[in-house]
Amino acid sequence: MELMCPIDQHCSHQIAALLQPPSPLLVQEYFEQLISKRQLHGIKVKQNGEFGKGVFAETNFEEEQLILKDQMLVGIQHPSNKIDCLVCSYCFKFIGSIEQQIGRKLYLKTLGVGISPHNGKGCHDNSSDKDQDNHFVQNHHNSDDGASSSSNSTIPLPTMAVESLMNGELALPYSNKFPLPSVVSCPGGCEEAFYCSKSCAEADWESFHCLLCTGEKSEFHSRETLLKFIQHANETNDIFLLAAKAISFTILRYRKLKACHLREQEKTATSMLGTSDLSLLLEAWKPISIGHKRRWWDCIALPDDIDTSDEATFRRQIRELAFTSLQLLKEAIFDKECEPLFSLEIYGHIIGMFELNNLDLVVASSVEDYFLYVDDLPYPEKKEAEKITQPYLDALGDDYSICCQGTAFFPLQSCMNHSCCPNAKAFKRDEDRDGQATIIALRPICKGEEVTISYIDEDLSFEERQALLADYGFRCRCARCLDEEP
């Protein structure tokens, strides 16, 4: 029997309003404001009937020129990656020090936390074959590129050596060439979120974290259920953590808008009819409403190992999984005035939006940079330095170079259409050390031309490309595909 979400039923009117696709005018306004607020230049988002939204050049770009940096709307570091990289929970910069990064990683490894980064993630792997992040982690673990260290085997260090790194007693040679911002703790008192600065801590608290923090000062109803929700997401699919952030973000925006609205009313001495104002909720929801969405269990690609005859069962299971996650989240942070956000219909669409706009969050590792620097030193200095650094490198093994990895929703990048002969790509330059997406021109782009990126490996054959792109819900009709079509 099909499970029912009671909120789906009695909030159906508000849910329909929230899921109404935004008008082209609203979309246009939203992006104009976003582009001007972020002081981006030379691009414009346009609606073009057949393909929906697209990003267009408003100026000429040269080959390799930066087109834009896109600040994420919501993003998370994969829980399994937290062992490897200590980053700011808001901007995703590496924090602490090279010593702390290495010491912490080795310490967590000795605790056995990091032995298998995929333990308990079986469902995640099955439920999303588009999730390239996981494949990336696996490839990364198995690769032996550029490392002067041992392959997969590591040589453990005495506990003392790890402790002296963590408590700052030992300074590694040349680590001062790689200064990192010092660690700022979460103002709510949890031991899970850390920041590069007070401003990042405050921004995260105000935008997302005050409802999802498990510390003393958090605003949850039940710490126990919040922890259960997080554990469930870690064990099944961390896309739920992203969805929870999107919901928290909308609730907090709603509260701010409402406070503002009430102040206005006091001034003008008018009364506000009803406590829950749908128009305020719609306004709070606007940034999320812009993203293209479908129900997660309808749009998720059928994994290769699932037979098409089992498709209905698979989709039902995905829906049930989302429902279980939602019940935990609801018990932990429910807000009556934002009730429609806790419906399965909305939860499914938020997750579906992340599924369809699944973009990797990647920040290069400062620890990797450090070891490459030491490796590049001239002979006598290198030999001296390696006397100290080599045991740490041996203890880390291939893990020394793991970068920060996660998933995020980037509002502008998510508007970029695909082409199998794209004129731009997402590419992090040496100086791009935070979670923003960076889009670079692959060849000269003329004013008025659409900026396109490739969602897939464009070296694949025509048939392979079309098969992969079908998971995104379209058949590619780019110039190259029209040319290669049999």
Judge whether 469 and 476 are in contact, CB under 8 Å: yes
Q: How far apart are CA 327 and CA 481, in angstroms?
A: 44
> In b/e form, how buried is each residue of 139-173, taking b as 16+ CB within 10 angstroms?
ebeeeeeebebeeeebeebeeeebeebbeeebebb
Per-residue contact string for residues 395-434; x = within reach of Zn ion by CB under 5 A? -------------------------x--------------
Q: Which is nearer to Zn ion, 71 or 134 (CB)?
A: 71
Q: Which is nearer to Zn ion, 48 or 138 (CB)?
A: 48
Which DSSP category does 310 fall into? G
Q: What is the DSSP string of 327-359?
A: HHHHHHH--GGGGGGGSHHHHHHHHHHHHHT-E
Judge whether 309 and 432 are in contact, CB under 8 Å: no
Phi-psi bin for 331: left (phi > 0), alpha (psi -120 to 50), beta? Answer: alpha
Minimum CB separation from Zn ion for residue 72, in Å? 12
Q: Which is nearer to Zn ion, 200 or 408 (CB)?
A: 200
Binding flag, residue 476, Zn ion (CB under 5 A): yes
Q: Which is nearer to Zn ion, 323 or 462 (CB)?
A: 462
Of 46-54, 107-115, 181-189, 254-262: span binding Zn ion (CB under 5 A): 181-189
Binding flag, residue 350, Zn ion (CB under 5 A): no
Per-residue contact string for residues 214-233; x = within reach of Zn ion by CB under 5 A? -x------------------
Which whole-number Å values give the CA distances from 118 to 79, 122, 123, 303, in the listed order?
Answer: 10, 7, 10, 18
Binding flag, residue 76, Zn ion (CB under 5 A): no
Size, binding site for Zn ion by CB under 5 A? 15
Q: Which is nearer to Zn ion, 83 or 213 (CB)?
A: 213
Minimum CB separation from Zn ion for residue 220, in Å? 11
Please select the residue that binds Zn ion; options are 5, 87, 190, 299, rule is CB under 5 A. Answer: 190
Return the amino acid letter for 470. Answer: A
Q: How far apart are CA 95 and CA 185, in angstroms?
A: 11
The tokens for 157 are 């260090």
| Calculated CA dihedral for residues 201, 207, 213, 216, nearest 10 degrees | 70
Per CB under 5 A, contacts with Zn ion among 195-214 are 196, 200, 213
Minimum CB separation from Zn ion for residue 188, in Å? 4
Binding flag, residue 91, Zn ion (CB under 5 A): yes
Binding flag, residue 435, Zn ion (CB under 5 A): no
Give residues in contact with Zn ion (CB under 5 A). Answer: 88, 90-91, 186, 188, 190, 193, 196, 200, 213, 215, 420, 476, 478, 481
